[in-house]
């Protein structure tokens, strides 16, 4: 049985990944952790520890105490907030990762670290962005994501640490709201549609981005960590895709369910510049070939599920 530690568990992905992992592997086998104690109560349905990813000593103590063999490293600043605090973004995204890899080398555990569509830049092909292509991101978030992919590859090649990861699109979910990303609008729009019948979008019409519904995102992480290592040519940077749309398309889909819903625009120049530098649509055939990745949700099925779930909750 696996013994898993999730670092940075109180964010958008962690609050859904932790219950998903506990269902699969057993409540007591999944330790959730974050830098603070006031976290969503669901994280405390099983073991919970306070860990600052910049404190390697504490991380090693917790990993030893629980006999951890797999770490999901979710501690990171997202793209828009990273642009406001580039030095802190480097410190957390790279410093945290380096600490985790060092402890993994010492204690021999596997590490999942998400990369992102942010690892691409304006000189990467925008359509069907290949698995292996030019990566010259122009945001600090993207710089940390490319460097993180390379660092994880290095720790595998040099020290044999079982490092793995996927390049996530924007993730849409209905439990914890995302904090400080460029793709956040595609979450907030559902809340505002139900609560106000109006949404002000901070990206321009025609801004295509890859997106994925949370149930696909959590399953991708687990399937990646369970994949047969002998089949993996790439390890730390699999493109995973599910749907690609622009703001007007998600608006039109919501309009089918929420009578009278309207969307206006007030463009955030920082987010717009980041979005313009990212792919419109990634090619994820390597993930499909090497470990059988398949998405389940598209824009219509996700929208139906998001609205039904949120209606019950709001």
Which residues are designated catalytic?
Answer: 141
Question: Is residue 11 part of the contact set for ligand AKB (CB under 6 A)?
Answer: no
SS (H, E, C) 171-199: EECCCCCCCCCCCCHHHHHHHHHHHHCEE
Nearest C-alpha neighbor of 115 from the set 164, 65, 174: 164
What stretch of H or E contains 277?
A: helix 269-277
Q: Least separation, in Å, of the C-beta of 62 and ligand AKB?
A: 26
Question: Is residue 96 part of the contact set for ligand AKB (CB under 6 A)?
Answer: no
Q: Least separation, in Å, of the C-beta of 260 and ligand AKB?
A: 29
Q: How many residues bind ligand AKB (CB under 6 A)?
A: 11
Give, as ranges, the residues between 253 and 282 that touch ligand AKB (CB under 6 A).
none
Q: How far from the centroid of its chain's Cα atoms is residue 183's Cα?
A: 11
> Which residue's CB atom is positioned nearest to ligand AKB?
181
Which of residues 56 and 170 has its CB atom nearest to ligand AKB in the complex?
A: 170
**Helix residue spans in 46-178 (DSSP H):** 56-66, 79-84, 86-90, 96-107, 140-159
What stretch of H or E contains 255?
A: helix 247-255
Q: The tokens 């980041």 sit on which residue?
A: 274
Nearest C-alpha neighbor of 211 from the set 175, 181, 252: 181
Question: Is residue 116 part of the contact set for ligand AKB (CB under 6 A)?
Answer: yes
Distance CA 99, CA 54 (A): 7
Q: Which stretch binds ligand AKB (CB under 6 A): 23-31, 116-124, 197-205, 245-253?
A: 116-124
Q: How far from the centroid of its chain's Cα atoms is residue 83's Cα?
A: 17
Q: Least separation, in Å, of the C-beta of 174 and ligand AKB?
A: 15
Question: Is residue 247 part of the contact set for ligand AKB (CB under 6 A)?
Answer: no
Question: Is residue 79 part of the contact set for ligand AKB (CB under 6 A)?
Answer: yes
Question: What mask of x and - would describe binding to ligand AKB in positions 160 to 189, judged by CB under 6 A?
Answer: --------x-x----------xxx------
Q: Least separation, in Å, of the C-beta of 274 and ligand AKB?
A: 7
Binding positions for ligand AKB, rule: CB under 6 A: 78-79, 116-118, 141, 168, 170, 181-183
């Amino acid at each position: 049985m696996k013994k898993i530690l999730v670092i940075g568990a109180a964010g958008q992905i962690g609050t859904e990944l932790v219950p998903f992992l506990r269902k699969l592997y057993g409540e007591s086998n999944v330790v959730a952790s974050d830098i603070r104690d006031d976290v969503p109560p669901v994280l405390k349905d099983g073991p919970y520890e306070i860990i600052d990813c910049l404190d390697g000593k504490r991380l090693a103590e917790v990993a030893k105490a629980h006999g951890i063999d797999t770490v999901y490293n979710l501690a990171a600043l997202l793209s828009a907030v990273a642009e406001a605090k580039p030095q802190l973004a480097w410190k957390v995204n790279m410093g945290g990762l380096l600490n985790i890899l060092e402890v993994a080398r010492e204690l021999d555990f596997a590490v999942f670290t998400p990369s992102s569509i942010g690892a691409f830049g304006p000189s990467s092909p925008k359509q069907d962005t290949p698995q292996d292509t030019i990566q010259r991101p122009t945001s600090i978030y993207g710089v940390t994501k490319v460097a993180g992919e390379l660092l994880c590859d290095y720790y595998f090649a040099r020290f044999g640490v079982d490092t793995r990861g996927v390049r996530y699109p924007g993730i849409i979910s209905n439990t914890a709201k995302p904090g400080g990303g460029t793709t956040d609008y595609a979450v907030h729009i559902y809340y505002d549609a139900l609560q106000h019948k109006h949404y002000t979008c901070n990206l321009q019409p025609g801004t295509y981005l890859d997106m994925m519904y949370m149930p696909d995102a959590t399953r991708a992480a687990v399937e990646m960590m369970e994949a047969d290592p002998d089949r993996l040519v790439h390890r730390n940077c699999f493109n995973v895709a599910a749907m690609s749309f622009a703001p007007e398309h998600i608006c039109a889909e919501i309009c089918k369910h929420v009578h009278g819903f309207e969307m206006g625009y007030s463009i955030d120049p920082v987010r717009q510049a980041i979005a313009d530098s990212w792919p419109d649509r990634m090619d994820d055939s390597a993930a499909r070939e090497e470990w059988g990745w398949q998405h389940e949700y598209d824009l219509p099925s996700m929208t139906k599920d998001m609205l039904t779930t949120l209606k019950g909750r709001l």
